[in-house]
Structure 1
Amino acid sequence: MLRTMSFVEPATRKELVLPVTPAEYFWRHPARIEVVRLDQLGEATLYGGYAMGDCTLEDVLLPAQLYPFCVPGARAAPYAYLETLERWCDAGARLQWMVSGTPVNASVLLAEITQGERDGTNDVYITITMRQWRKLEAPVLAVSGGSAATARDSQTGASATKTYTVQAGDCLWSLAEQFYGDGSLCRRLAAANPEITNPNLIYPGQVLTIPPADRLPAANADSPSVQAADRTRTSYDPEAARWRVQLAKEQAAMR
């Protein structure tokens, strides 16, 4: 049976069917295999996880005239096909590559397009190099003390220190909750960032160091500004229609 080979861009639903099905294709489905050399014991082969597949289609014919072996619906417009493929390559478009009558239906990015002519026919021959892609997602971790699960920010890391740029609306408590699942670690997170003199004050654009939970330093003693804030009391005077702010020690002196 005549197979057809096509690329589909799901985001726009645009489909490109190759006008002539390549004579052959080979999809590489690898795994990461690591060889570890152990002193006195020799080599050990270990499985290192899933790896991305890839494929190179060679001598793909984009005809300047319609031949009997062209697929139904083909056009004698080689550079129209080439323009679409190069645009997808330049934009890093996420495509589905499919071969009819087979299980081949892979999510790919076009890594390289090589093109040229031969024989004076004005036909264009191209080589398409594609690589598999997949969407990266944050891991889902169990919540301590319960059976529920929550998605944690992937920047937490179990063994590496990360950085985070403060966004509008962030506070240290919410960041400690996000990265460690425990907002009470906010003061220890502040201690890991010496530029923070008041844990209640962080600013958009500020770059914070986010160490693993087991490397968080002990919380610093409260700064004078934090101590003053803790001693501050506020009250509302409805007759004067204004707020009154006063330190607790000043209130005690007035009694």
Structure 2
Amino acid sequence: MKDRVIELSVDNRREVIELPVNPAEVEFTEKQLNQTITLLNIGEANLKGERGLKLTKLSSFFPSEKSPFYKYAKRKPDQYVSLLNEWKRAGAVVRIIITDMKVNLAMLIDQFNYSMKEGDSDIYYMISLSEYRTLNVPAVQTTTRVRSNGLLARPAAAPAGGTHTVVSGDTLWGIAKQSYGAGAQYPKIYGANSAIIEASAKKHGKAGSDNGHWIYPGDVYTIPV
């Protein structure tokens, strides 16, 4: 049994990849967005900034049936490659968990390289990932009045795209696929309902950076056009 488990998953573990052969080394980089400026008669000064995104690269191989490591694999090498390419092209948010490093991050696949060597059925790969953060931009509400028959009147609100009541087994990916025909559109639903999702996550003790991945039955979401 491996001491370290590295798991990649999407959409509340709807699809999961546990790396069969761990990278020899895993390193995370996190920049601090400080800014250096030059001041007359003073010289350089460093202005403190916020933290940047966490970055990492995973490099190893997917073993073939001829490899002694194949016992740890749950898919054939080409199936791993196909699934990772599908995630990358769909822009899926990937949850990466590394057990002994206490890593639990939402990330995006920036680059995925893979290759095969002569006489070797294993597929060697390198995945570059960067941290994913949701943008919580406050909504600006405005009141518009138009003149009608000489009087000021407020126009009727434009019809919404509809609503969806969450039931057991629902996922943001599934709701987006049902509403738009593409599961990768789920950030659109999250953005329109972030306050509801975050409140429910807090209520159920799941508040934090990953609360966008937890949804609960009974919540009513607005489905934007």
TM-score by length of 1: 0.54
Distance in 1, matches of 2:66 and 2:133, equals 37
Distance in 1, matches of 2:35 and 2:71, equals 44
Cα deviation, residue 230, structure 1:
4.2
Q: Give matches, 1:155-174, under 5 Å.
A: none
Q: What is the DSSP-based 3-state SS (H/G/I as helix, E as strand, rest coil) of the residue aligned with 1:126?
A: strand
Q: Give matches, 1:92-241, under 5 Å.
A: 92-139=91-138, 152-153=139-140, 178=141, 183=143, 200=146, 229-230=150-151
Question: For residue 5 of structure 1, what is the aligned residue in structure 2?
Answer: 6
Residue type of the alignment partner of 2:89: D
* Residues 30 and 54, structure 2, Cα contact 8 Å, conserved in 1: yes
Q: 1:45 to 1:105 in 2, by over 3 A?
A: same
Q: 1:46 to 1:110 in 2, by over 3 A?
A: same
* Residues 64 and 70, structure 2, Cα contact 8 Å, conserved in 1: no
Distance in 2, matches of 1:38 and 1:24, equals 42
Cα deviation, residue 90, structure 1:
0.4
Distance in 2, matches of 1:3 and 1:61, equals 16
Q: Which runs of 5+ in 2 are unaligned?
A: 153-225
List per-residue Cα deviations over 1:76-134 (Å, max 9, x = no partner).
61000111100000000011111122211111011111111114111110110111111
Q: What is the DSSP-based 3-state SS (H/G/I as helix, E as strand, rest coil) of the residue aligned with 1:24?
A: coil
Distance in 2, matches of 1:5 and 1:70, equals 16
Q: What is the DSSP-based 3-state SS (H/G/I as helix, E as strand, rest coil) of the residue aligned with 1:53?
A: strand
Which of these two proteins has the greater Rg computed from alpha carbons?
1
Question: For residue 65 of structure 2, what is the aligned residue in structure 1?
Answer: 65
* Residues 66 and 76, structure 1, Cα contact 8 Å, conserved in 2: no
Distance in 1, matches of 2:29 and 2:71, equals 26
* Residues 29 and 52, structure 1, Cα contact 8 Å, conserved in 2: yes
Residue type of the alignment partner of 1:114: N
Q: 1:70 to 1:22 in 2, by over 3 A?
A: farther
* Residues 99 and 105, structure 1, Cα contact 8 Å, conserved in 2: yes
Residue type of the alignment partner of 2:41: Q
Distance in 1, matches of 2:47 and 2:71, equals 45
Distance in 2, matches of 1:76 and 1:9, equals 17
Cα deviation, residue 70, structure 1:
5.4
Q: What is the DSSP-based 3-state SS (H/G/I as helix, E as strand, rest coil) of the residue aligned with 1:51?
A: strand
Q: What is the DSSP-based 3-state SS (H/G/I as helix, E as strand, rest coil) of the residue aligned with 1:90?
A: helix
Query: Does residue 54 of structure 2 align to residue 41 of structure 1?
Result: no
Q: What is the DSSP-based 3-state SS (H/G/I as helix, E as strand, rest coil) of the residue aligned with 1:89?
A: helix
Q: How many percent of aligned residue pairs carry the same amino acid?
A: 25
Once superposed, what is the RMSD of the aligned Cα atoms? 2.4
TM-score by length of 2: 0.60
Distance in 2, matches of 1:137 and 1:46, equals 25
Q: 1:30 to 1:3 in 2, by over 3 A?
A: same
| Count, aligned residues | 151
Question: For residue 80 of structure 1, what is the aligned residue in structure 2?
Answer: 79
* Residues 86 and 113, structure 1, Cα contact 8 Å, conserved in 2: yes
Segments of 4+ moved more than 6 angstroms:
none
